[in-house]
């Protein structure tokens, strides 16, 4: 059985993801699709709309055969660390290829760009440093540094979010010397950050979430843009747990933490650098909501995403020493769900997979999985009080999901 890998968040799963999976199987010729999926907190530093279990079920219904959790220490990270973890997970799971979506759609362009930047490595790093010194954010500094090298037109545009991640996937595979064939699918219709629906059934996850959190809260508005299973699971989750997750639900906890934390203590939290702790503490007492805090906090230097990730680490009390435990590769595979096809794959190849496959959380201990469990418990606190205990218990009580259909 031939497996291809995808790196996903499914926040939530929609028609664009179905297109991606169909094309991934087509270009790879794979029999099995394996997902490395972020847990309850995501790469851009935000709580997932619904839990990892609900998103796993969406994935299995939508065409994924196996879902493994990308550990928190890799998932809530800048692009290169995120990519290193995800690529190593899929390589360890036995994938022969990885297929990712991009604005480019040209895999050779990614390899050409990788070679180009390797050839100009010292000049590129010096330019990044110079642009950072001018007060630019890290992503902006990367973009300006790349443009300063006067790249050929056939190289990919590293200002686009999915191109940036895709480039890091290719880079990670090269550095790890992984025997993976990389492939990319050009994104259709909606852009990653689009906030409005288009006439197409393919909408961005951003626009779907915006509709769900609109004042009218008419979930039916998204029905044309997500598969029936996704719509059913979203409505079921809201009914079963009383709410979707968003940052405003956690603001009171963050404010409390910041008000009782000293600058010295805050400096130990991952991603708190360059005196950022003083700005956090000064503004926390004044803000009455998460959005008010973020709008006051954001500067040219620090992107919304970078600040959200720092807040996630404050919320989970993740210290710099905790994240240092994360090597460039994952050390275990936590199984969240499988189809019949996925189970057949595991039965056939599990002896060839060198990493432990975790089915029962309670039976395995590791510093990184402890971070995942802590994050899962805190994630549950974003729900109305009467639903929290039910959500808290899922981390240890929930067995991997199994779905017959592919």
Tell me the pLDDT tens digit for each residue of 354-404: 899 999 998 899 999 999 999 999 999 999 999 999 999 999 999 999 998
Per-residue pLDDT, 136: 87
DSSP summary character for residue 44: T
Average pLDDT over residues 224-246: 94
85 is in an annotated binding site: no
Task: Provide the terminal-to-terminal Cα distance of the chain, rounded to the nearest Å.
Answer: 15
Mean pLDDT of 228-234: 95
Query: What is the spatial distance between Cα 4 and Cα 33, in angstroms, rounded to a whole number?
Result: 5
| Residue 16 in marked binding region | yes
Q: CA nearest 171: which of 91, 98, 83?
A: 83
Determine whether the annotation assigns residue 12 to a binding site. yes
Percentage, residues of the chain above pLDDT 70: 95
pLDDT at 192 over 70: no
**Per-residue model confidence as pLDDT tens digits over 73-129:** 999 999 999 999 999 999 999 999 999 999 999 999 999 999 999 999 999 999 999
> Which of 397, 323, 336, 324 has the alpha carbon at shortest distance from 93?
336
Q: What distances in angstroms separate CA 251 from CA 240, 294, 309, 315, one per listed residue?
A: 22, 11, 14, 9
7 a known binding residue? yes
Residue 198: pLDDT band (50, 70, 90) is low
Q: What is the pLDDT of residues 39-57, one digit of tens each?
A: 999 999 999 999 999 999 9
379 is in an annotated binding site: no
Tokens of 321: 């020493």
Helices (H) and strands (E) in the chain, counts: 19, 8
**Was 9 annotated as part of a binding site?**
yes
**pLDDT category of residue 191 using cuts at 50, 70 and 90:** low
**324 band by pLDDT with thresholds 50, 70 and 90:** confident
Predicted local confidence at residue 325, as pLDDT: 73
pTM: 0.94
47 is in an annotated binding site: no
79, 163 contact by CB (below 8 A): no
Contacts 24+ apart (CB under 8 A), 16-20: 16/101, 16/187, 16/188, 16/189, 16/190, 16/202, 16/203, 16/204, 17/62, 18/62, 18/63, 18/227, 19/185, 19/188, 19/202, 20/99, 20/101, 20/185
Q: Residue 8 annotated as binding?
A: yes
Q: How many CA atoms lie within 13 A of 287 on its CB side?
A: 24
313 is in an annotated binding site: no
Tokens for 305?
A: 């995403």
61 annotated as ligand-binding:
no
Least-confidence region, from 29-43, 209-223, 255-269: 209-223
Distances (CA, A) of 321 to 105, 266, 278, 312, 345: 38, 13, 20, 16, 37
Encoding tokens for residue 249? 């639900």
Q: In whole numbers, what is the pLDDT of the chain averaged over residues? A: 92
10 is in an annotated binding site: yes
On whether 219 is known to bind a ligand per the annotation, the reply is: no
What pLDDT score does 189 carry?
A: 59
- Whether 307 shows a pLDDT value over 80: the answer reads yes
Per the annotation, does 402 bind a ligand?
no
CB 86 within 8 A of CB 7: yes
Report the relative pairing of strands 181-186 and 66-70 from DSSP bridges. Answer: unpaired
In the predicted model, is pLDDT for residue 4 greater than 80? yes
Q: What is the pLDDT of residue 151?
A: 86
Q: In this structure, what are the phi and psi dihedrals at residue 73, rounded to the nearest 5 degrees?
A: -60, -20
Judge whether 76 is annotated as a binding position.
no
Q: What is the pLDDT of residue 207?
A: 87
CA distance 385 to 370: 24
């Amino acid at each position: 059985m031939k497996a291809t890998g995808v790196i996903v968040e499914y926040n939530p799963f929609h028609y664009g993801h179905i297109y991606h999976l169909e094309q991934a199987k087509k270009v790879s010729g794979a029999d099995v699709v394996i997902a490395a999926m972020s847990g309850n907190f995501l790469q851009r530093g935000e709580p997932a709309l619904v839990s990892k279990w609900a998103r796993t079920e969406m994935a299995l219904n939508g065409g994924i055969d196996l879902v493994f959790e990308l550990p928190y220490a890799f998932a809530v990270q800048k692009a290169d660390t995120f990519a290193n973890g995800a690529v190593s997970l899929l390589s360890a799971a036995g994938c022969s290829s990885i297929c990712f979506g991009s604005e480019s759609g040209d895999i050779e362009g990614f390899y050409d760009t990788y070679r180009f930047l390797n050839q100009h490595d010292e000049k590129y790093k010096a330019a990044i440093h110079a642009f950072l010194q001018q007060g630019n954010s890290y992503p902006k500094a990367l973009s300006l540094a790349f443009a300063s090298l006067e790249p050929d037109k056939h190289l990919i545009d590293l200002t686009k979010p999915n191109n940036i991640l895709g480039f890091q996937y290719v880079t990670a595979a090269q550095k790890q010397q992984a025997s993976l064939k990389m492939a990319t699918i050009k994104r259709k219709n909606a852009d990653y950050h689009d906030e409005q629906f288009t006439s197409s059934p393919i909408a961005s996850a951003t626009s779907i979430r915006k509709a769900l959190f609109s004042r009218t809260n008419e979930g039916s508005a998204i029905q044309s843009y997500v598969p029936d299973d996704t719509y059913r699971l979203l409505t079921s989750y809201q009914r079963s747990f009383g709410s979707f997750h968003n940052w405003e639900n956690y603001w009171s906890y963050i404010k409390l933490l910041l008000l009782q934390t000293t600058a010295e203590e805050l400096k130990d939290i991952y991603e708190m650098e360059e005196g950022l702790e003083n700005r956090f503490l000064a503004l926390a007492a004044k803000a009455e909501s998460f959005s008010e805090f973020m709008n006051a906090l954001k500067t040219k230097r620090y992107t919304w995403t970078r600040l959200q990730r720092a807040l996630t680490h404050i919320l989970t009390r993740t210290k710099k020493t905790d994240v240092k435990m994360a090597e460039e590769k994952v050390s275990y595979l936590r199984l969240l769900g499988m189809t019949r096809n996925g189970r057949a794959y595991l039965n056939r190849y599990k002896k060839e997979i060198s990493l432990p496959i975790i089915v029962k959380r309670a039976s395995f201990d590791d510093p990184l999985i402890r971070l995942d469990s802590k994050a899962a418990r805190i994630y549950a606190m974003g729900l109305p009080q009467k639903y929290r205990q039910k959500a808290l218990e899922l981390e240890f009580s929930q067995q991997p999901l199994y779905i017959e259909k592919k």
